[in-house]
């Protein structure tokens, strides 16, 4: 092995000689020397590469940058962490790549410090994905609350803030530590006027944290059942049986009435994808005033929600009125409404939820293929 070869210089730890080759040679020789410094990867070699990365010669700093990004020696971490906070972006970008590839406490701490630098913030958040470390929670909490502490009017900055906050919430959702429950719960309570996309993300992340998260989320919603925005968050989460049980377990009568009123508001504000969830919650409330309000909405909306019809048909105090209103729709409304009302009457009868009386007042109209295309009112049969 020649004493002038890159392999010999690497073996003998000749950092200065390798650095000189990077500065003075071209092409393959320069790349080999930089790679050797990367493979040595201790503090001295790393600091030398960092100096080379600040060269005015693009060929030198690009080669040094590639070598820095390939460092895997944990002994390089202190020098890399220092460079992350003090170097130019041309230096910090490969430094971030190196720290991202190292899964140790010191490298993680260095990345977390990078959250304080707005230049690095997006790259650091991306580097933290998949780490699932409890040490991340407090810095992420601080960043989330800082970013949402004041209202931003500049459109570009607003979009940047939203992007950062979405990344933070996604990372909190990944971390399995119980402390994330408190952070997400605190965010929902303290930032209720925040962008709904962020609130929806936080609510879903909190509810996905198992029983502790569901308890915290149900508690947040249950604090004020008259708050429409909280109920909208509840609907966005698509509450499962456990969340519903927690929500209804300690609900006083006043809150039940407030929840019923809020759900009726949501029924008018939300799209039809949410109607089955809303109707299921209304049925679970099991209150006459709620059923009466739903019946009024059902009639005014011309029978657009099948789930509402089934709920109303399951209760004796609303069943007769429901049947009468559906028959009236067949009798007085236009064809699309007649068809919908007639099909509902037929299906409710087949499912044994209503008596035959209402069905005998209408008759289906079929096309040449035997498909029902309309219903007509025929009155009482003899």
CA distances to 223, 257, 266 from 254, rounded to whole Å, are 12, 5, 19
- What is the rounded average pLDDT for all residues in the chain? 92
pLDDT tens profile 136-165: 999 999 999 999 987 777 788 888 899 999
Banded model confidence at residue 11, pLDDT cuts 50, 70, 90: confident
Of all residues in the chain, the percent with pLDDT exceeding 90 is: 78
Q: Which residues pair with 376 in a beta bridge?
A: 363
Banded model confidence at residue 380, pLDDT cuts 50, 70, 90: low
Q: Averaged over 165-192, what is the pLDDT?
A: 97
* pLDDT for the residue 251: 84
Residue 15 has pLDDT above 70, yes or no: yes
- Other C-beta atoms closer than 10 Å to the C-beta of 87 total 18
Give the angle 80-85-88 at the CA atoms, nearest 5°.
90
CA distances to 62, 221, 257, 275 from 319, rounded to whole Å, are 77, 32, 22, 20
pLDDT tens profile 34-58: 999 999 999 999 999 999 999 989 8
Helix (H, G, I), strand (E, B) or coil at 331: helix
* pLDDT for the residue 165: 96
Banded model confidence at residue 3, pLDDT cuts 50, 70, 90: low
Helix (H, G, I), strand (E, B) or coil at 133: coil
Question: What's this model's pTM, rounded to 2 decimal places?
Answer: 0.86
Banded model confidence at residue 128, pLDDT cuts 50, 70, 90: very high
- Other C-beta atoms closer than 10 Å to the C-beta of 306 total 16
Q: Averaged over 350-365, what is the pLDDT?
A: 93
Residue 1 has pLDDT above 70, yes or no: no
pLDDT tens profile 314-355: 999 999 999 999 999 999 999 999 999 999 999 999 999 999
Residue 382 has pLDDT above 50, yes or no: no
Backbone angles phi, psi at 362, to 5 degrees: -130, 160
Residues 2 and 12: their CA atoms lie apart, in Å, by 12
pLDDT tens profile 85-113: 876 777 888 999 999 999 889 999 999 98
Residue 26 has pLDDT above 90, yes or no: no
DSSP string computed for 140-157? HHHHHHHHTSS----HHH
Of all residues in the chain, the percent with pLDDT exceeding 70 is: 98
* pLDDT for the residue 354: 95
pLDDT tens profile 286-318: 999 999 999 999 999 999 999 999 999 999 999
Residues 328 and 306: their CA atoms lie apart, in Å, by 17
Backbone angles phi, psi at 24, to 5 degrees: -110, -25
Beta strands in the chain (DSSP E): 362-366, 372-377
* pLDDT for the residue 381: 52
Residue 199 has pLDDT above 90, yes or no: yes
pLDDT tens profile 108-119: 999 998 898 888
């Amino acid at each position: 092995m020649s004493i002038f070869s890159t392999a010999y210089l690497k073996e003998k730890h000749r950092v200065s000689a390798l650095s000189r080759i990077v500065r003075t040679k071209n092409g393959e020789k320069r790349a080999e020397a930089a790679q050797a410094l990367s493979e040595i990867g201790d503090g001295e070699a790393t600091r030398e590469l960092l100096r080379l990365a600040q060269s005015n010669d693009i060929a030198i700093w690009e080669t040094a940058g590639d070598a820095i990004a390939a460092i895997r020696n944990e002994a390089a971490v202190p020098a890399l962490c220092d460079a992350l906070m003090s170097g130019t972006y041309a230096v910090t970008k490969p430094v971030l790549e190196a720290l991202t590839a190292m899964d140790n406490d010191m490298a993680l701490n260095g990345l977390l410090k990078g959250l304080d630098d707005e230049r690095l913030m997006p790259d650091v958040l991306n580097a933290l994905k998949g780490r699932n470390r409890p040490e991340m929670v407090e810095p992420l909490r601080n960043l989330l609350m800082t970013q949402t502490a004041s209202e931003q009017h500049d459109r570009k900055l607003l979009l940047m803030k939203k992007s950062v906050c979405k990344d933070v919430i996604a990372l909190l959702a990944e971390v399995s530590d119980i402390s994330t429950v408190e952070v997400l719960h605190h965010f929902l309570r303290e930032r209720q006027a925040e962008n709904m996309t962020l609130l929806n993300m936080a609510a879903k992340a909190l509810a996905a944290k198992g029983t502790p998260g569901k308890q915290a989320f149900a508690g947040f919603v249950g604090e004020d059942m008259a708050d429409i925005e909280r109920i909208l968050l509840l609907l966005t989460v698509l509450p499962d049986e456990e969340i519903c049980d927690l929500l209804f377990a300690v609900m006083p009568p006043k809150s039940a009435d407030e929840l019923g009123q809020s759900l009726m508001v949501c029924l008018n504000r939300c799209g039809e994808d949410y109607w089955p969830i809303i109707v299921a919650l209304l049925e679970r409330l099991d209150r006459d005033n709620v059923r009466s309000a739903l019946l009024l909405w059902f009639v005014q909306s011309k029978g657009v929600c099948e789930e509402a019809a089934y709920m109303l048909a399951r209760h004796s105090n609303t069943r007769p009125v429901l049947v009468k209103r559906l028959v009236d729709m067949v009798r007085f409304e236009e064809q699309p409404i007649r068809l919908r009302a007639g099909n509902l009457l037929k299906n409710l009868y087949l499912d044994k939820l209503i008596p035959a009386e209402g069905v005998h007042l209408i008759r289906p109209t079929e096309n040449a293929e035997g498909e029902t295309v309309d219903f007509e009112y025929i009155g009482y049969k003899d």
